[in-house]
Structure 1
Amino acid sequence: MLPRYYCKVSIRLNSTFSKIVENAPKISDNENWLNSLEIPNPASSLISGNKSWKTGDKFPFEIISNNDARNFKGQRFIDLKASLRYFTSINYLQEFNKHKHKRSQGNFIDVRIVKCKSGIGGNGCISFFRDANRRIGPPDGGDGGDGGSIYIQAVDSMDSLAKLKTTYIAGDGENGATDQLDGAVGKDILIKVPRGTVVHWCMDPKKVREYVQGKLQDSDATKDKSLRSILENNMLELKCVATDRYRQDVPHIQMFRNSYEVGEGWIYKGQTEEFHTSKDWFKDLKEKVKLYDYDLENAEHYQDTIPLFGIDLDEVSNEPICLLKGGKGGLGNMHFLTSLIRNPRFCKVGRNGLEQHFMFELKSIADFGLIGLPNAGKSTLLGAISNARPRIGHWEFTTLCPTIGTVSLGIDEPTFTVADIPGIIEGASQDKGLGLEFLRHIERSRGWVFVISLERPDPLSDLELLINEVGGLEKVETKSIMVICSKADVHPEVTAGPESTRGKYIKMEEFCSRRGWETMPISALRGENLEILKMKMFQSLGGRVER
């Protein structure tokens, strides 16, 4: 802890009665501080500064090197690589997507890449007390103010990322001043996001566009490949903090500041750097202050990390989470007065902040998600069983953004939520139609409801297509599955045979029963079987709703 006895408010009050700065650190105070500096214990720093964050969904990665190499703080780094698709958004690359579908989402934005920059610490001050009877008094240069930090907080009052800016820049700390006054602290930035947002570290979108454009110009390498496959098959190398028990076995991406090296970062007045570095007294001081720099870097290395899988803000944050920490302010010359250094004409510069890009990804929190082809009747069903009023039409892609409705079983009875997402077509996994980007809104859902229209020629083939597009049976069977056959009231004139509505439903029922899935026919327009459907959906949640 740096020696300091009074706050700067007290300094202003005392200056009314005396021009002499009474609270400048004494020689013995500074020498005791310098002699007490030591290389910090990394383990104790990790324990005291550990914060438990819930992380996003895991994805595969490969460790490139893990040779147990450690830096001076005792931290072990590992190099790993993972698919580029996890560190960017395909929404920012639509100019390269030959299958893109023009859509209008209004004010609903569920992915936003934001550039964040924390503030630079202010420089220390080189100053000496002066009055009428003393030309040069003791050093009284104050410390620079710390740079502002970037914070994030999940709130219930938002349901979209539309209000997020593209850039957030925290304020820089101001330089220290005479009379031992510290510089003002830089302004912090608080980014409020909806509950259910996952924050990932990501690449600069401009660099990703340049990379993808270069790949697309190589016609042989990208022949018959989609934009998604280009991102999937190209790997990004990252330096991470090795997993340990303080990190809960989750790799953390290490972010690095472009600050001065340990032992550097001095500001000189009156004499050059060469003059100071040639003096033994300064060499000795510099070696001791190196330990202070070690301590700063140790704190930065621990603070400047983010989980590889992102930070999952699935609950309202009671306190803001620090995303990027501002730079520490530099030391004023008052800290360098010793028995050998009576007139320290030097101080320390402030530490740099961090500039990084982060991807904010909103995942709606609903108990059920509706999955179906375009115009399968999902929106009609949602409007019939819930309080939602989705847009309904007879053309494909009527639903262009997720809609969440609350389903009530009656007065004073439990409720649950259902999310409707845009229709999925064949090739959606290759970004045809509206792609699969909206699947994020039902990833958290405990149950998936496949809505299959019996008006279609082969409803069973439609179900198999949807299963393949959303990830196959292996992924589907991780959820509680229901198959709802909509438009069961169409073609009443065909009463028998495999082409009849009943024949199509029987084939669907046989397919679902083999997998233990609940299935039932409905007519949303006529309100047939809707009350039974709501009860079965509630029962598939185990008769309970998590809130």
Structure 2
Amino acid sequence: MRKISLNTPLLKSIVRHNSYKIVDNAPKISDNEGWLESLKWKNAMDLDETPQLSESANEYVSGTGQFPITVVSTPPESHYIDIKAPIINFTSMKYLQEFNKHKHAQGNFIDVRIVKCRSGKGGDGSISFFRDAGRSIGPPDGGDGGDGGSIFLQAVESLDSLAKIKTTYVAGDGEDGAAAQLDGPTGNDILIKVPKGTIVHWCMDPRNVRSYIQKELQKEPTSTLRSVLENNMLSLKCISKYRYDTEPTHIQLFRDSYESGAGWLFKGKSEEYHLDKDWFVDLNKKVTMYDDSLRSMELKSDTIPLYGIDLDHVSNTPICLLKGGKGGLGNMHFLTNIIRNPRFSKMGRNGLEQYFMFELKSIADLGLIGFPNAGKSTILGKISNAKPRVGHWEFTTLSPSIGTVSLGIDSGSFTVADIPGIIENASQDKGLGLEFLRHIERSRGWVFVVNLETDQPLRDLQILIKEVGGLEKVASKNVLIVCNKADTEHSKDKYMTVASFCNELGWDHIPISALRGENIQPLIEKMAKCINIQ
């Protein structure tokens, strides 16, 4: 006999037309019978389908900072898109500074947080029977458990750092159902407010990362922290944004909840007693399909973009990061023509616990890049309303500063970010490393500041270019080269050498003296031109 597919559009339409939605309260026997019967059809259609994103997940704005991945397998070879990627993309160097041989104090500025989040567990369904003066036991009236609380994200204008972000957020559990068909209250949701410009990534448990690094460094004492994180891979199961696409876009998360067909609560008689009864075995087969549908919904919601959720603008609508567990069914749903006294109910589904890395990337039009003592802070103070710390020692700037540059009443303005100085081998975590480079990744233009007092300012510029990712990465930005301290001896010859290099690459350049305030207005005009503001 030819096997007929139950996954055709026609049969799906028939099933939708004849399917029964579970009745929330006061279900009649016919309601329960219809709902349980419809579960058989649901099973035939839904099992083993490739996981697909929920509609809300498709609304996420994925981060643009991509990193190299290796695709190991894709459907139909595997159920998910299996990938491998360097561990460094799923942790924070700041949280691992104890292993950094070149670490340097970074002040109290907080632009990275690793946060443990847990959504609430669903409440258990109630086992209860109606009672009144005329009868000792009536029909089942056990209510459903309340859904667990969820965790939401929202970018707001009023915050400018991650200092107020806690290390742990736990949403409320749903409460158990009660007699008289009373559903348990839903668990309290958690809303995490973050500054505009925050990207939220899935990350590894910091304790596991520290333990792993410790073992690796014991095996290879000459290894650096960065080399361990870059050369060791993490395996992940991913899905794509669209069905049948093999390009991984989202990480699939998994909650530790009971398997389909399990999660029963019994009263009076044991689980073994019920599993020996044909009527319960038949019921459990149908309810297993309901469990499958819950698990399917969980898989659709339990995802996060591979490259993070980019909260780059203020929104009035929060984004659900972790969804709470579904409340369990009360025994009122299991009254049928065969089962008259259901002394059982369903447990609530578990919530989801994961670690996330909150990373603040300042949104400035231009970013200042230079060695320590190049005069970046002095320049920012001259051109804008910012008051950065200025000193005659290296690493005066320990955290990013952002200033607004006004072009006049009718000409608008632009913002400039000054980040801590970069030194040679910063990409190997010397000095302050490249941790603060995130604050100018979004910038439309990069302004390299070189000091004409040094012996070889052109070499300094070339080192800066190399440390921030090379010419290919720099070429993706609008570039302006500022030669500071142009009032010093031999500065003209040094400037001409730098200018010749810039002309070959098509980069604009200008000599200034920030300390004396010379050429500041032309600098502002060139900065505006760099980002196409006239």
Q: TM-score category by the smaller chain?
A: over 0.9
Deviations 1:38-71 (A, max 9, x none): 136568975755532221111110011225156x
Paired position in structure 1 for 2:219: 218
Structure 1: where are the runs of 5+ without partners? 6-23, 71-75, 492-499
Deviation digits for residues 258-309 of structure 1 (CA, Å, limit 9, x no counterpart): 1111111100111111111111111111111111111101100000011111
Relative distance call for 1:506 and 1:48 in structure 2 (3 A) is closer
CA distance in 1: counterparts of 2:181 and 2:337, whole angstroms: 20
Q: CA deviation at 1:103?
A: 3.1
SS class of match (1:340): coil
Give the whole-Å Cα distance in 1 for the aligned partners of 2:486 and 2:238.
54
Correspondence for 1:382 among 380, 383, 399: 380
Provide the secondary structure at the position in 1 that maps to 2:517.
Answer: coil
Measure the CA separation in 2 of the matches of 1:172 and 1:4: 20
CA distance in 2, matches of 1:162, 1:517: 38
Measure the CA separation in 1 of the matches of 2:52 and 2:246: 16
Listed one character per residue, the Cα deviations across residues 356-393 of structure 1 (whole Å, up to 9, x for unaligned) are: 00000000001100000001000000000011010000
**Mapped partners of 2:71, 2:233: distance in 1:** 12
CA contact (8 A) 2:407 2:413 kept: yes
Superposition deviation, residue 104 in structure 1: 1.7
Q: Which of 67, 70, 73 is residue 65 of structure 1 equivalent to?
A: 73
Q: Distance in 1 between matches of 2:246 and 2:190?
A: 28
Aligned to 1:355: 353
Residue 27 of structure 1 pairs with residue 29 of structure 2: yes
Equivalent residue runs for 1:261-410 within 5 Å: 261-410=259-408
Deviations for 1:455-475, whole angstroms, at most 9, x for unmatched residues?
A: 111111110111111111111
Q: Distance in 2 between matches of 1:242 and 1:501?
A: 55
Distance 1:81 1:130, change over 3 A: same
Contact 1:47 1:246 in 2 (8 A): no
**Partner of residue 85 from structure 1, selected from 62, 77, 88:** 88
CA contact (8 A) 2:68 2:85 kept: yes
Contact 2:51/2:239 (8 A) holds in 1:
no
Counterpart amino acid of residue 53 in structure 1: Y
Identical positions, percent = 64
3-state SS of 1:237 partner? strand
1:367-426 per-position Cα deviation (integer Å, ceiling 9, x unaligned) = 100000001000000000011010000010000000000001112321000000000011
The amino acid across from 1:483 in the alignment is I
User: Structure 2 residue aligned with 1:520, among 502, 510, 515?
Assistant: 510
Letter in 1 for 2:184: G
Q: Distance in 2 between matches of 1:314 and 1:248?
A: 27
Q: Is the 2:51–2:300 contact (alpha carbons within 8 Å) kept by the matching residues of 1? A: no
- 1:152 corresponds in structure 2 to 153
Task: State the AA in 1 paired with 2:380.
Answer: L
CA distance in 2, matches of 1:289, 1:122: 18
SS in 2 for 1:63: strand
Q: Deviations over 1:59-114 (max 9, x none)?
A: 110011225156xxxxx412110000000001011111110112322xx3100000
Q: Is contact 2:50–2:243 with CA below 8 Å preserved after alignment?
A: no
Give the partner amino acid of 2:284.
K
Candidates 53, 62, 74, aligned match of 1:55? 62
Q: Output the TM-score relative to the length of structure 2.
A: 0.92
Shift, 1:445, TM fit: 0.5
Map residues 13-24 of structure 1 onto 2, 5 A cutoff. 24=26
Contact 2:53 2:301 in 1 (8 A): no
Q: Matched residue of 2:89: which SS?
A: helix
- Superposed CA deviations along residues 304-353 of structure 1, whole A, max 9, x for unmatched, are 01111111111112211100100000000000000000000000000001
Letter in 1 for 2:413: T
Matched, 1:507 2:497: yes
The Cα of 1:536 is off from its aligned counterpart by 1.3
Report the equivalent of 2:22.
2
The Cα shift of 1:438 comes to 0.3
> Which residue is equivalent to 2:441?
443
- Confirm or deny that 1:102 pairs with 2:105: yes
Aligned partners of 2:325 and 2:351 also within 8 Å: yes
The aligned counterpart of 1:12 is none
Equivalent of residue 537 in structure 1, options 524, 527, 533: 527
Query: Would you identify which runs of 4 or more consecutive aligned residues in structure 1 move more than 6 Å?
Result: none
The corresponding residue for 2:172 is 171
1:91-147 CA distance string (max 9 Å, x none): 011111110112322xx3100000000111000000001111111001000000000
- Partner amino acid for 1:51? N
Q: Alpha-carbon deviation of 1:4?
A: 3.3
Superposed displacement of residue 244, structure 1:
2.5
Contact 1:147 1:353 (8 Å CA) reproduced: yes
1:452 to 1:48, Cα distance in 2 relative to 1, 3 A:
closer
Question: Are the counterparts in 1 of residues 240 and 246 from structure 2 also a CA contact under 8 Å?
Answer: no
Partner of 1:16: none
Once residues 317 and 197 of structure 1 are traced to their aligned partners in structure 2, the CA distance between those partners, rounded to angstroms, is 12
Equivalences, count? 508
Q: Equivalents in 1 of 2:359, 2:228: separation in Å?
A: 21
Looking at structure 2, the residues matched to 245 and 159 of structure 1 have their Cα atoms a distance apart, in angstroms, of 38
Q: Give the drift of 1:246.
A: 9.1
**How far apart are residue 490 of structure 1 and its match?**
2.2
Shift of 1:243: 5.0
Distance 2:515 2:150 in 1: 54
* Residue 260 of structure 1 pairs with residue 284 of structure 2: no
**Corresponding residue SS for 2:58:** coil
Which residue type is aligned with residue 160 of structure 2? D
Q: Distance in 1 between matches of 2:37 and 2:30?
A: 10
Structure 2 runs not aligned, ≥5 long = 1-20
Say whether the 8 Å CA contact 2:377–2:418 is kept in structure 1. yes
Instruction: State the secondary structure of the residue aligned to 2:145.
Output: coil
Residue type at the aligned position of 1:536: K
Structure 1 CA distance, aligned partners of 2:161 and 2:181?
A: 47
Are residues 413 and 248 of structure 1, via their aligned partners in 2, closer, same or farther at CA, if it must alter by over 3 Å? farther
Q: Counterpart in 2 of 1:73?
A: none
Q: What's the counterpart of residue 187 of structure 2?
A: 186
Tell me the SS of whatever aligns to 1:514: helix
> How far apart, in 2, do the equivalents of 1:150 and 1:333 lie?
29
Q: Cα RMSD over matched residues?
A: 1.7
User: Quick one: structure 1 residues 69 and 378, their matched pair in 2 at CA, closer, same or farther if it must change by over 3 Å?
Assistant: same
The residue type equivalent to 2:69 in the other structure is F
Whole-Å separation in 2 of the counterparts to 1:31 and 1:328 = 22
The amino acid across from 1:272 in the alignment is: S
Does 1:137 find its partner at 2:157? Answer: no
Which range is displaced more, 33-42 or 87-96? 33-42
Equivalent residue for 1:235?
Answer: 233
- Per-residue CA deviation, residues 478-535 of structure 1 (Å, 9 max, x unaligned), is 11111000111123xxxxxxxx111101101101100001011011122211111111
Q: How does 1:38-53 map to 2 (within 5 A)?
A: 38-39=42-43, 41=46, 46=53, 48=55, 51-53=58-60
For the 8 Å contact 1:117–1:355, the answer to whether it is kept is yes
Q: State the distance in 2 between where 1:47 and 1:390 align.
A: 46
